C-alpha cells in the first residue's frame, strides 16, 4: 500500500518536473506535447521517420537486453554499433550488389562480436567489470573508425571524413514504399529478432541457462551450468547484434559510414532495454517510444525548446519504470 503510494508520488513528481522544465523555456507545455506528437506521429511521413529512428534503437536494444538477461551491462553497444557500421560500409563498397549487402551484414555482425569478445573474456575469466571495459572499447572504436574513415576508407572526392555511398543495388531494400510511407526491411529484422529472443529465452534450455546465470550465477554453477562460458557467449552474441544494428544503419538508412554515425543509439538502447520489462517483447514499445521522442524533439527545436528536454522525459520514465519493476515481492509467512 505504502509502495503504491510512493510510486504514484514518483510519477506525479516526474510529471511536475517535466512540466516545469518545459514551462521554464517559455513555451506552453500543452503546446509542446502536441507539437512533439504531431512531429513524430502526425503524418505518414512523420510516422515513417519515427519508425526509421526506432529501427537501430530496437536492434541495439535487443543487444543490450540479451546481455542484461545474463547479468551483464553492455555499455559497449555504441562501440559495437560503430565498428559494425564501419565494417559493413567497407565491405559493401568493395562488393556492390546483393552480395555486398549480404556480406556487409555478416562482416558487421562479426566486427561487433569481435569487439565485445575482450570484454566478455575479461569479465568471465579475469573478473574485470564489463562496464569499464566496454566503455573503454567504445572510445577505441570511435577513434579507430574515425582514423579509418579519415584515411584508407575516405572518399577522396569529399571534403568531410566519410566513405563513398554504396550503390542502390547494395542497399537494404524497403519493405513498403508508396507515397509518403516508407518502411525499411531493417525494421522487420529488428521485430523478428526481438520476437525470436523472447521465444528463445522462454522456451529453450540454453535460454533458461542464460537467465539462470543472470539471475544467480552461484546457483547456476551449482546447477551444473558453466556460468563463465555462458557469460562469454552472451557478451559475444550481444556484440554481434550491436554490430548488426550498425550494419543495418549503413545498408538501410545512411548508405555510407562517417565519423559519429551513431548519435548515441548504443546508449539510448540501454534505456530501451531497461524500459522493456521482463520479456523481450517489451523492446518493441520501448524502441517506439524512444523513436517518437527522438523524432519529435526535432519538432520541439523549431519551437525553441532545447533537444535535451527529451532526455529529461526519458530519465523520468526510466526512474519510474525501475521503481515499479524492482518492487520486492512480499514474503508470505506460512
CB closer to other proteins, 178 vs 203: 203
Q: Which burial class, exposed, middle or buried, applies to 71 when counting CB atoms under 10 A from its CB (0-12, 13-18, 19+)?
A: buried
- C-alpha 244/C-alpha 81 separation (Å) is 7
The secondary structure element, H or E, covering residue 141 is helix 130-150
Nearest approach, Cβ of residue 206 and other proteins (Å): 6
Residues 293-332 that bind other proteins (CB under 8 A): 328-332
- Region of 84-92, 138-146, 211-219, 244-252 interacting with other proteins (CB under 8 A): 211-219
The DSSP code sequence of 88-108 is HHHHHHHS-SHHHHHHHHHHH
Residues 75-94 that bind other proteins (CB under 8 A): none
| Neighbour tally for 277: CB within 10 Å | 15
333: contact with other proteins by CB under 8 A: yes
Partners of 182 in the β-ladder:
177
CB closer to other proteins, 157 vs 218: 218
**Could you tell me which residues come within 8 angstroms of residue 235 by beta carbon, excluding any fewer than 6 positions away?**
67, 70, 72, 74, 116, 117, 119, 120, 123, 124, 130
The secondary structure element, H or E, covering residue 184 is strand 181-184
The secondary structure element, H or E, covering residue 287 is helix 283-303
Binding mask 89-128 for other proteins (x = CB under 8 A): ----------------------------------------
Binding mask 150-189 for other proteins (x = CB under 8 A): ----------------------------------------
Nearest approach, Cβ of residue 272 and other proteins (Å): 22
- Region of 48-56, 60-68, 176-184, 218-226 interacting with other proteins (CB under 8 A): 218-226
37: contact with other proteins by CB under 8 A: no
* CB 65 within 8 Å of CB 280: yes
Considering only residues 35, 49, 53, 209, which one is a binding residue for other proteins as defined by CB under 8 A? 209
Considering only residues 63, 215, 294, 325, which one is a binding residue for other proteins as defined by CB under 8 A? 215
Residues 183-202 that bind other proteins (CB under 8 A): 202
Considering only residues 206, 260, 307, 322, which one is a binding residue for other proteins as defined by CB under 8 A? 206
CA distances from 274 to 74, 192, 285 (A): 12, 20, 12
203: contact with other proteins by CB under 8 A: yes
Give the interface with other proteins as residue ranges (CB under 8 A).
202-206, 208-209, 212, 215-216, 218-219, 221-226, 328-334
Amino acid at each position: 500500500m505504502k509502495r503504491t503510494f510512493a510510486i504514484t508520488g514518483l510519477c506525479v513528481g516526474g510529471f511536475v518536473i517535466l512540466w516545469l522544465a518545459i514551462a521554464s523555456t517559455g513555451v506552453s507545455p500543452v503546446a509542446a506535447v502536441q507539437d512533439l506528437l504531431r512531429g513524430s506521429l502526425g503524418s505518414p511521413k512523420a510516422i515513417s521517420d519515427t519508425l526509421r529512428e526506432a529501427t537501430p534503437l530496437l536492434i541495439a536494444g535487443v543487444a543490450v537486453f540479451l546481455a542484461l538477461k545474463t547479468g551483464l551491462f553492455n555499455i559497449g553497444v555504441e562501440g559495437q554499433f560503430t565498428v559494425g557500421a564501419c565494417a559493413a560500409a567497407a565491405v559493401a563498397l568493395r562488393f556492390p550488389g546483393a552480395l555486398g549487402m549480404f556480406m556487409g551484414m555478416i562482416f558487421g555482425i562479426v566486427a561487433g562480436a569481435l569487439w565485445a569478445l575482450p570484454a566478455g573474456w575479461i569479465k568471465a575469466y579475469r573478473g574485470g567489470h564489463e562496464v569499464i571495459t566496454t566503455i573503454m572499447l567504445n572510445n577505441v572504436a570511435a577513434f579507430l573508425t574515425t582514423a579509418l574513415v579519415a584515411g584508407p576508407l575516405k572518399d577522396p572526392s569529399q571534403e568531410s571524413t566519410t566513405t563513398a555511398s554504396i550503390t542502390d543495388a547494395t542497399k537494404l531494400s524497403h519493405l513498403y514504399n508508396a507515397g509518403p510511407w516508407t518502411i525499411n526491411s531493417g525494421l522487420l529484422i529488428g521485430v523478428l529478432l526481438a520476437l525470436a529472443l523472447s521465444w528463445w529465452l522462454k522456451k529453450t534450455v540454453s535460454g533458461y541457462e542464460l537467465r539462470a546465470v543472470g539471475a544467480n550465477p552461484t546457483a547456476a554453477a551449482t546447477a551444473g551450468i558453466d556460468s563463465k562460458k555462458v557469460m562469454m557467449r552472451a557478451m559475444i552474441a550481444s556484440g554481434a547484434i550491436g554490430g548488426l544494428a550498425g550494419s543495418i544503419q549503413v545498408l538501410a538508412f545512411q548508405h555510407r559510414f562517417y565519423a559519429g554515425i551513431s548519435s548515441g543509439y548504443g546508449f539510448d538502447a540501454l534505456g530501451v532495454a531497461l524500459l522493456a520489462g521482463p520479456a523481450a517483447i517489451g523492446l518493441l514499445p520501448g524502441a517506439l517510444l524512444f523513436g517518437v521522442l527522438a523524432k519529435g524533439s526535432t519538432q520541439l527545436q523549431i519551437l525553441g525548446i532545447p533537444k535535451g528536454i527529451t532526455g529529461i522525459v526519458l530519465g523520468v520514465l526510466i526512474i519510474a519504470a525501475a521503481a515499479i519493476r524492482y518492487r520486492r515481492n512480499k514474503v508470505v509467512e506460512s
